[in-house]
Structure 1
Amino acid sequence: MAIEAWFMQENGEDQRLPHQKNPPDNFSGGIPLEMSNLSNLEILSIPSSSQTGRIPSVVFNMSTLKVINFDDNNMFGSLPVGIYLPELEYLNLCSNQLTGGIPATFGNLTRLQVLRLHKNNLTGTYLKFLIAFETKISGVLPASIGNLSSSLQEFSVFGCNIKGSIPAEIGNLSSLEYLLLERNQLTGFIPSTIGKLKSLQRIDISINKLEGYIPLELCQLSNLGGMDLSDNMLSGSIPVCLGELKSLRNIHLGFNKLESTVPLKLWNLNDLLRLNLSHNSLSGNLPSEIGNLNIIFDIDFSWNQFSGNIPSSIGKIQSLASLSFAHNRFQGSIPPSLGNIINLQSLNLSFNDFSGLIPKSLEELKYLEHLDVSHNRLEGEIPTGGHFANFTAQSFMQNYALCSETRQQFPPCGKVHKRSRSKNVVSLKKYILPPIISVILAVTILLIVRRRKSNKYAPQREISLHLAWRRISYRELEEATKAFGESNILGSGSFGSVYGGLLSDGLNVAVKVFNLQSEQVRAIKSFATESQVLSTIHHRNLIRIIGCCSNTEFKALILEYMPNGSLEKWLYSHNYFLDMLKRLNIAIDIALALEYLHHGHTFPIVHCDLKPSNVLLDKDMVAHVSDFGIAKLFGEGESTAQTKTLATIGYMAPEYGTEGIVSTSGDVYSYGVMLLEMYTRKKPTDEMFGEEISLKSWVSHSLDENRITEVVDTNLLGREDENFSAKKQCVSSILAVAMQCLNDYPVERISMREVVAGLEKIN
């Protein structure tokens, strides 16, 4: 049943339609039957006019009607059983004296968006499904929700900007099987009365602003198969009793403030298919009982504080397709038993404290497509068999002592025994290197002074800004870029130019040279800002810095080379094309990068200039956000800052363009513009836009009118396409997420955490 309906709150607000006017005071009596003779009538609105009598049944068979509004009259009787209103979008019969039930034929109102029936005597209705999807309902959930039909099976109101709390009276809907309230603005606590919904099979209240504990009463729902409470502000621990709900198949508690350990009973849910506890503050060790989840295919424990070793029993879960333990405190060696998970497609163990070798057993995983073991203390040779040849160097960067005979980014392994070498490295770092470094620094300083005196016109020796970066001389850069020749230019802008280069060790790089001649102060400031930011961030979807070269006459950053160029090139060049799924994956990559900058760092970082030309694509078409020249680093407790530096017109948030106020919400706005651009293939500065219409209002109007095919890139969506309806719904959902980023008021915009959750759900 496709009915989209709503029972509005009893708040006495003026709910008048924009086109609605009060009728004359003397317009009263009954509705004449002759009304049905008005052919092509689209709006029938007689509010607050003291109409009496029954509503003629002929009114409910006027096939052209789009709006029926009899609000605040004295009509009585029951609603007719036979209804034929194929175009009806708005039905308001509230504040009358209607009795009886809601006819089952309401289910035929496929275009209905708003149904207002409150302040009547309707009881014992036959309504089974109440669904509203991404409509502009707004308002709150009224306590009278508990008066809905006892036969109601599905209550789905998602993406409708509903505010306020979930009323306790929702527990009166005894037959409810599906409660779906995701992507709203709900606040307060999860009512314990939900435990009375004994028939409930699925609850999804994700992407709201709910707080407090997860109520123990959820454990009374013996038929519950799916539970998604993610992306709220829930705190406390995971209820132990959830492990007794043997019917559970999907649990998503990510993006909350949960703490403590995972209850041991949870590992007894043998039929669990998905378990996502990411982005919380959960801690403790993983027990061997994790191997009991023998049919699960998705586990995500990333961004927590788990520690200890990964138990070898995890290798028993041969159904597992995706496993992420990233951004935790796991230690010890990577268990070789992971090689027994024959269906594993994605494995992320990055940003932990793993040591030892990368198990050769991982070469046996024939379906493994994504691997990330970066930012650990791993050592020894990187395996070469299986799919390892397909994994980029990023998958292994920032480790203790990894080596490779085939990867230029890592030193060759040689003939030294790996374990003895690791001990020698420790001794070298602790006892030998410090005095040697001191001598080298003294000699280097002396040589620099002498060189400056002997050749004041030659570019001076570089000054390393960060100990982890490579020291790359001007001469080496000159050779790598063919003397910074025009044939090596990858791009240029107000800051300077970017050159492609090949270093002496065979590494392809991008050399960003800052223009110190025309705008020296701005260039130096941009260089300093970008250096500061890039030295503190480490994320798969952010550009990685390799080194720098800096002196009074020359400043350059050496960055990883992105062979597939910018997102802008792929959107607008005629010989390049991104399909719907690739665009979505790129959008998620960018969102993950911003989520890390805003929420995953010790302090927020605002990019300030997000646009397609600042998104680069590696050889696997993974997106990397780049160009941090005007970024802002916030200190503790800061959430906004002011700047005189303007970003790119069309992408700036309103408060940035008018007042120079930058915040993470400003990045969200820029992201929303770019997301619209990705699916419409229209720049915000396109000549079709001006004072009367913008990219934002153009898309917003198409969503309101359900005419998105008029704005979506014609290469993506055609009526002759297979699965046209499904593709249209997918794009509509993506554009709806973008619109939630584009609110004129910063506090009303969703966060990048909400963006990530919304897009991953669509994906």
Structure 2
Amino acid sequence: MFSLVYNGISGNLPSSIVDGLVDLESISLAGNNLSGEIPSSISNISKLTLLELGNNSFSGHVPMNLGNLQNLRMLGLGGNQLTNDPSMSELGFLNSLRNCRHLERIVIGWNSFDGTLPKSFSSGNLSASLEHFQAYSSGIKGMIPNEIGNLSNLISLEMGGNGLRGTIPETLGQLKKMQSLVIDNNKLEGSIPVSFCNFVNLFRINLGGNKLSQQILGCLSSRNIYLNDNAFTSTIPSAFWNNKDLAIVDLSYNLLNGSLPLEIGSATGMRILSLKGNQFSGDIPSIIWRHQNLDYLILSENKLHGHIPETFANLTALQYLDLSQNNLSGVIPKSLEKLQNLVYFNVSFNELGGEIPNGGRFKNLTAESFKGNRELCGESQFKVMPCKGNKSSKTRVLKYILPSVGLVVGIAIIIMVCFMRRRKSNKPLPAKSSLPSAFPHERISYHEIVKATSGFGKDNLIDRGSIGSVYKGIFSNGLVAAIKLFDLDMEDANKSFDVECRILSNIRHRNLVKVISSCCNLDIKALVLEYMPNGNLNNWLYSSDYCLSIAQRLEIMIDVAYALEYLHHGYPSPIVHCDLKPSNILLDEDMVARVGDFGIAKLLTKDQRILHTKTLGTIGYMSPG
């Protein structure tokens, strides 16, 4: 197989490079800094099966003769600056692709086409061959043509972030092989077509951020369902919860009302449930405790009343619980102290009373979690009134206890001052969500990551590793972050991504790199991490441009020791990093050391023992075995 592959090239792509290469079967030039127009002479390479030009700076129009590539299987043009011929209202180049009888994947997202989908695009050879059509944020406008139902082999259709309007065609329900349907953040109106009940292989459906209305279909069957930011009304049909495979349900910011049915406990595999910003009333069903895998439960900004169920203590996997801005009353169950994975808790602006629990994860919470509840009492850190039952006799305190306490406090202050001179406090920061606080409405998309890194440009590259690369990203809201992009072609990348997500979402310490968010779909697996402006320790130790004093070296050693002490002893299940080396120790703006890269870390239970030292760590930095 003859291939054309370049890395790190820039400028125009001259026709002379591809002219005469009639035996070329693959052109993969993604992620370079190529500009100018795409040479139309590419269409003369008759044996070409893969044409990947994504994430460059190509401009102008897509050649209208790409349909000559009879053997083409994959066309990648995403992440460029391509436009449509202004004299044509339709994306004409798509019509030419009807002649490609083997074309399986088309990626044209993140361009500026400003045109409509041709009705005839779904006919011809494409109706039997096309499996993936990805056109997210590509300037497509107008209505989705009914003819799209002719693409009988379509597995994924992603057209979010465009200007699509009108109703969703019923013909989409004819696509029985559909697994991923993403048409969020458009201007679509009307109801969800009844034909969507025909989907049997659907893994993800995302219709969020449109103007859809009426009732949600009870027969809608998918593992991940995003219907947020629409105008759906009425109650959620009880049959909706009969889908045993439900994992993610986001119905936030609609006009849904009524009470939450007992059937909500049927989908026991659910991990994320967000009903935020609706008009639900009644009690919170205690049967929710059956969701043993639930990580996120968001019921805020509704009209729910009654008590917080004691059974919430059985949600052992729960990390994020938001019940704020409702009409809940009663006490906060003390049994919630058992939730060892909880990193975010919010019951503000309700009518709760009684004592705030102060054990378990509650001891790290702040007043923000409880404000707006006039009858709550507890510790001073929560900025509520003290509980009456905890008051002692002032006379006895002043006469017998205060002198002794004063002596102890005096000694403690002297020790503290000495210690503070030697070391900054290593107390962990107050627990927060490891994701943005407005989850799930501030999820970071692939499009945002591409834009923040200038299409993963070389100027934003921080480092390359064995399973991916790290880029500096500047987002539209001013956030500066480090984006760790995993190379999905590497055998261990998927495993490493899963390990890092699992570890970083459950730990928090001032000497560990903080995860801000993640992005995971068919095209990318990436972690968005706190940006460390002073780079890694390896640069400071082995570069002539940097210099560390003895005091700074000692501080860094202590920082790393604190991080390891937390990983080994401060978390319920010990975490073994497995690859601690200077390049995995990062330095923030104050030269405080943060340990990162948990791609091969191991989470050990009490019953586990390390039987051998077969590890993927770096030679010279592994533990001796």
- Kindly state the Cα deviation for residue 315 of structure 1 after the two structures are TM-superposed: 1.1
Percent sequence identity over aligned pairs: 34
Q: Partners of 2:374 and 2:520 in 1: how far apart?
A: 33
Specify the SS of the correspondent of 2:135: strand
1:231 and 2:205 correspond: no
Cα distance change on mapping 1:116 and 1:164 into 2, 3 Å: closer
1:674-753 to structure 2, matched below 5 A, reads: 703=454, 706=455, 708-710=457-459, 712=460, 717-721=461-465, 724-725=468-469, 727-728=470-471, 731=473, 734=475
Q: Partners of 1:130 and 1:584 in 2: how far apart?
A: 37
Query: Which of 173, 176, 179 matches 1:195?
Result: 173
Q: Partners of 2:103 and 2:81 in 1: how far apart?
A: 16
Q: Partners of 1:334 and 1:326 in 2: how far apart?
A: 13
Cα distance change on mapping 1:370 and 1:722 into 2, 3 Å: farther
Q: Partners of 2:389 and 2:79 in 1: how far apart?
A: 73
Cα distance change on mapping 1:327 and 1:759 into 2, 3 Å: farther
1:134 and 2:110 correspond: yes
Residues 502-521 of structure 1 deviation map (CA, whole Å, 9 limit, x = unaligned): xxxxxxxxxxxxxxxxxxxx
Give the partner amino acid of 1:146: S
Query: Which of 222, 228, 240 matches 2:200?
Result: 222
* Greater percentage in helix: 1
Query: Which of 163, 181, 191 matches 1:185?
Result: 163
Specify the SS of the correspondent of 1:378: strand
Specify the SS of the correspondent of 2:157: strand
Please name the residue that 2:585 is paired with: none
Residues 376-432 of structure 1 deviation map (CA, whole Å, 9 limit, x = unaligned): 000111111111111101111111300114446111111399xxxxxxxxxxxxxxx
Specify the SS of the correspondent of 2:164: coil
Contact conserved, 1:69 with 1:92, CA < 8 A, in 2?
no
Query: Which of 298, 302, 310 matches 1:336?
Result: 310
Please say which of residues 400-409 and 340-349 is displaced more in the overlay. 400-409
- Kindly state the Cα deviation for residue 202 of structure 1 after the two structures are TM-superposed: 1.1
Give the partner amino acid of 1:132: I
Query: Which of 71, 91, 113 matches 1:103?
Result: 71
Query: Which of 160, 166, 170 matches 2:148?
Result: 170
Specify the SS of the correspondent of 1:186: strand
Specify the SS of the correspondent of 1:170: helix
- Kindly state the Cα deviation for residue 106 of structure 1 after the two structures are TM-superposed: 5.3
Give the partner amino acid of 2:101: T
1:308-323 to structure 2, matched below 5 A, reads: 308-323=282-297
Residues 153-181 of structure 1 deviation map (CA, whole Å, 9 limit, x = unaligned): 11111122222221111111000000111
Residues 547-597 of structure 1 deviation map (CA, whole Å, 9 limit, x = unaligned): xxxxxxxxxxxxxxxxxxxxxxxxxxxx9xxxxxx99979x55x889x99x
- Kindly state the Cα deviation for residue 101 of structure 1 after the two structures are TM-superposed: 6.1
Q: Partners of 2:155 and 2:138 in 1: how far apart?
A: 21
Residues 106-152 of structure 1 deviation map (CA, whole Å, 9 limit, x = unaligned): 56999998697456595361000111232333322221221234111
Please name the residue that 2:121 is paired with: 145
Contact conserved, 1:177 with 1:201, CA < 8 A, in 2?
yes
Please name the residue that 1:254 is paired with: 228
Q: Partners of 2:324 and 2:234 in 1: how far apart?
A: 22
Give the partner amino acid of 1:80: S
Contact conserved, 1:227 with 1:250, CA < 8 A, in 2?
yes
Q: Partners of 1:216 and 1:119 in 2: how far apart?
A: 30
Give the partner amino acid of 1:708: G
Query: Which of 367, 372, 378 matches 2:346?
Result: 372
Residues 436-477 of structure 1 deviation map (CA, whole Å, 9 limit, x = unaligned): xxxxxxxxxxxxxxxxxxxxxxxxxxxxxxxxxxxxxxxxxx
Give the partner amino acid of 1:339: A
Specify the SS of the correspondent of 1:163: strand
Please name the residue that 2:595 is paired with: none
Contact conserved, 1:366 with 1:387, CA < 8 A, in 2?
yes
Cα distance change on mapping 1:314 and 1:94 into 2, 3 Å: same
1:291 and 2:265 correspond: yes
* Greater percentage in strand: 2
Contact conserved, 1:276 with 1:300, CA < 8 A, in 2?
yes
Contact conserved, 1:69 with 1:91, CA < 8 A, in 2?
no
Based on CA coordinates, which of the two structures has the bigger radius of gyration? 1
Contact conserved, 1:279 with 1:303, CA < 8 A, in 2?
yes
Q: Partners of 1:758 and 1:161 in 2: how far apart?
A: 25
- Kindly state the Cα deviation for residue 59 of structure 1 after the two structures are TM-superposed: 10
Runs of 5+ unmatched residues, structure 2: 4-10, 83-90, 392-423, 425-430, 443-447, 480-515, 529-625
- Kindly state the Cα deviation for residue 352 of structure 1 after the two structures are TM-superposed: 0.3
- Kindly state the Cα deviation for residue 221 of structure 1 after the two structures are TM-superposed: 1.2
RMSD: 4.5
Q: Partners of 1:162 and 1:258 in 2: how far apart?
A: 25
Per the normalisation by structure 2, the TM-score is 0.57
- Kindly state the Cα deviation for residue 80 of structure 1 after the two structures are TM-superposed: 1.0
Q: Partners of 1:144 and 1:285 in 2: how far apart?
A: 46
Please name the residue that 1:452 is paired with: none
- Kindly state the Cα deviation for residue 760 of structure 1 after the two structures are TM-superposed: 11
Q: Partners of 1:707 and 1:400 in 2: how far apart?
A: 50
Give the partner amino acid of 2:323: L
Please name the residue that 1:206 is paired with: 184
Specify the SS of the correspondent of 1:150: helix
1:80 and 2:46 correspond: yes
Give the partner amino acid of 1:347: L
Runs of 5+ unmatched residues, structure 1: 4-39, 46-54, 418-574, 576-581, 597-675, 680-698, 739-755
Cα distance change on mapping 1:759 and 1:101 into 2, 3 Å: closer
Give the partner amino acid of 1:204: V
Cα distance change on mapping 1:320 and 1:109 into 2, 3 Å: closer
- Kindly state the Cα deviation for residue 366 of structure 1 after the two structures are TM-superposed: 0.9
Give the partner amino acid of 1:161: G
Query: Which of 366, 384, 388 matches 1:392?
Result: 366
Q: Partners of 2:174 and 2:478 in 1: how far apart?
A: 33
Specify the SS of the correspondent of 1:203: strand
1:345 and 2:341 correspond: no
Q: Partners of 1:584 and 1:355 in 2: how far apart?
A: 25
Q: Partners of 2:463 and 2:188 in 1: how far apart?
A: 40
Contact conserved, 2:111 with 2:138, CA < 8 A, in 1?
yes
Please name the residue that 2:405 is paired with: none
Give the partner amino acid of 1:171: G
Query: Which of 263, 273, 298 matches 2:237?
Result: 263
